[in-house]
Amino acid sequence: MPATPSSSVPLRRRRRRSALAAAVATAASLGAAVPAFAAPGPEGAPPKLELKDGTLDWGFRESFRKYIAAAGRITVADGAKQAAANGVFTFTGGTGAYDTATHGTNNAFKGSVRFEAHGGVLDIKLSDLKVATTGTKGAITADITTKDQSGKDLLKNDVALADLDLSKVRPGSGAGGAMVFKDIPAALTKAGAAAFNGQYKEGDPLDPATLTVTPAADPDKPGPSQKPKPSDSPKPSNPPKPSDKPKPSDKPKPSDKPVPPTAPTPGPAGQSKVSDGRLTWGLKESFRRYVNSGGGTGAAGGAKKNGDLFDFSLGRADLDAQARTLDAAFKGSINFSYPAHQLDMTFSDLKVKADGSRGTLVLDVTTPKGTKDDIAFATLDLSRADYTDKSGVVRLAAVPAAFTAEGAAAFANDTTGSMYRAGDAIDPLDLAFTVRDGVTLPQGSGSGAVPVSDTTPSGTVGSSVGGTGALAATGAGVPAGALLGAAGLAAAAGGAMLYAARRRKA
């Protein structure tokens, strides 16, 4: 085979800096927004993110393309395209998965490119290209078809053609929430050099590759099974029958000692006097699972863990059961930390405001970038809430909750936005209040808040993350796009996304 020019285009290209660049430097930070779309898999299995509509922009080697164009022809087929003026190739239809536990990724692409020159003496076809990454390293493999001396095709499957270096790659955002890893440095492998008959040697620089991936779905969007059933709401107690009224003979005798009142102590304007209370909540199940896969949660200042959920102690409360209004504030904070993904979020100063069938959860969100006070975090559906006093306790159980636009935006990063959307379901709230003097809250009375499941039909995510997933996706709700890093791609989302990726000042 004739020798070819060895010159190649410079590999160093100036990359755009972003506020999230330091947080998502591939290996250590690839998962910054994963919760957005990463949803939990089967119990005990690491969450994964399905990817779709991926593209690989790669020209192999510019000097080789120029040589072939002068001595023969280049043909693209099966879904591949070539940019004008003998530019790089785009391989389309990429599908694959991102593993949030190992940060490993695998993507396969459609399309083929054939290089022919010198009347068929040189005939090399690349097809079935795949990109796999682990940590800061990766590889491009391809099926390589050549001709023997008799003209018969010789096929070698999954040849490791190029090594990729993702240690300095910074992710960017693309259309439709896609994550773009631009200009990944590539070098020829020993097997790749052999496939080209030794015209190049192992380690020779190749054209940089650009990888674009998109999360396949938003797993954090609640399905029909997540809607509360009428039977799930506490039924009001039956009103007393006429026969239940006390008879004259039931009146206390002078010798009888007075009995403590059995009705709520009325306050101004018919309000109930609240002596104690508790809020039980878990934020979002897919987000917790994402964080717990590599980090942890904590409670402080009046909040404590209650299994997978958290209990917040009462600060104050104004409750009018007759008017179905509530204005309550709770003590305590909860923290979600995932150091390897630079995630650190604290939620505190929770307030619940309700009027009739609607309500709002308001809270403060703190990240390394600062604190946002009094965010209208979630809408509450109290249409089935039961304000009945039962043995001195009013309990609003399993109150459905969903992100507001402001709440979803709290998980946004500076590159891809939020992995969650307004209306995405989060864990329901369980509220309990004592409305009689001397009554104590039953232990575990707030444990009825059942987390919303974010697992996708396939059992992978996304969101959480928060995840939220996922990717959180996350789960997750995660909607805007997922960060794919660490292995070369990190899911971000929404997602997550990140749940909430750590954002650093530019």
pLDDT at 311 over 90: yes
* Mean pLDDT, the chain, whole residue set: 75
**CA angle, 355 then 360 then 361, to 5°:** 135
**Contact status, residue 471 vs residue 34, Cβ threshold 8 Å:** yes
Confidence (pLDDT) at 105: 85
Q: How confident is the model at residue 366 (pLDDT cuts 50, 70, 90)?
A: very high
Choice among 267-276, 295-304, 370-379, 466-475 with the minimum mean pLDDT: 466-475
Lookup: tokens for 41 = 């898999």
Confidence (pLDDT) at 4: 46
Proportion of the chain above pLDDT 70, given as a percent: 67
Structure pTM? 0.43
Confidence (pLDDT) at 156: 93
Give per-residue pLDDT as tens, 409-445: 998 877 667 888 899 999 999 999 999 888 888 775 4
pLDDT at 177 over 80: no
Amino acid at 8: S
Lookup: tokens for 169 = 């790659």
- 443: Cβ contacts below 8 Å, ≥ 6 apart: none
The SS3 call for residue 500 is: coil
Confidence (pLDDT) at 400: 96
Alpha carbon distance 277, 343 (integer Å): 31
Amino acid at 223: G
Higher pLDDT: 272 or 406? It is 406
The distance from CA 370 to its chain's CA centroid, rounded to whole angstroms, is: 21
Alpha carbon distance 293, 491 (integer Å): 15
Mean pLDDT across the stretch 323-349?
93
Q: List the helix and strand counts (H, then E) for the chain.
A: 4, 26
Confidence (pLDDT) at 227: 44
Alpha carbon distance 285, 283 (integer Å): 7
Confidence (pLDDT) at 377: 97
Alpha carbon distance 280, 303 (integer Å): 9
Higher pLDDT: 40 or 388? It is 388
Mean pLDDT across the stretch 78-90?
96
Question: N- to C-terminal Cα distance for the chain?
Answer: 51
Alpha carbon distance 107, 56 (integer Å): 9
Burial category of 243 from C-beta neighbours within 10 Å (exposed 0-12, middle 13-18, buried 19 and up): exposed
Mean pLDDT across the stretch 78-89?
96
Mean pLDDT across the stretch 101-119?
89
Burial category of 242 from C-beta neighbours within 10 Å (exposed 0-12, middle 13-18, buried 19 and up): exposed
Q: How many CB atoms lie within 10 A of CB 235?
A: 10
Confidence (pLDDT) at 178: 85
Confidence (pLDDT) at 492: 34
Higher pLDDT: 208 or 322? It is 208
- 208: Cβ contacts below 8 Å, ≥ 6 apart: 11, 13, 58, 183, 184, 185, 186
pLDDT at 500 over 80: no
| Residue whose token pair is 């996922």 | 470
The distance from CA 226 to its chain's CA centroid, rounded to whole angstroms, is: 19
**Contact status, residue 32 vs residue 473, Cβ threshold 8 Å:** no
Choice among 22-26, 144-148, 339-343 with the minimum mean pLDDT: 22-26
Confidence (pLDDT) at 233: 44
pLDDT at 292 over 60: yes
Confidence (pLDDT) at 280: 96
Lookup: tokens for 269 = 């304007």
The SS3 call for residue 245 is: coil
Residues present in the chain in total: 506
Mean pLDDT across the stretch 479-492?
33
Give per-residue pLDDT as tens, 130-164: 999 887 899 999 999 998 878 888 999 999 999 99
Confidence (pLDDT) at 228: 43
Q: How confident is the model at residue 397 (pLDDT cuts 50, 70, 90)?
A: very high
Confidence (pLDDT) at 46: 54
pLDDT at 219 over 70: no
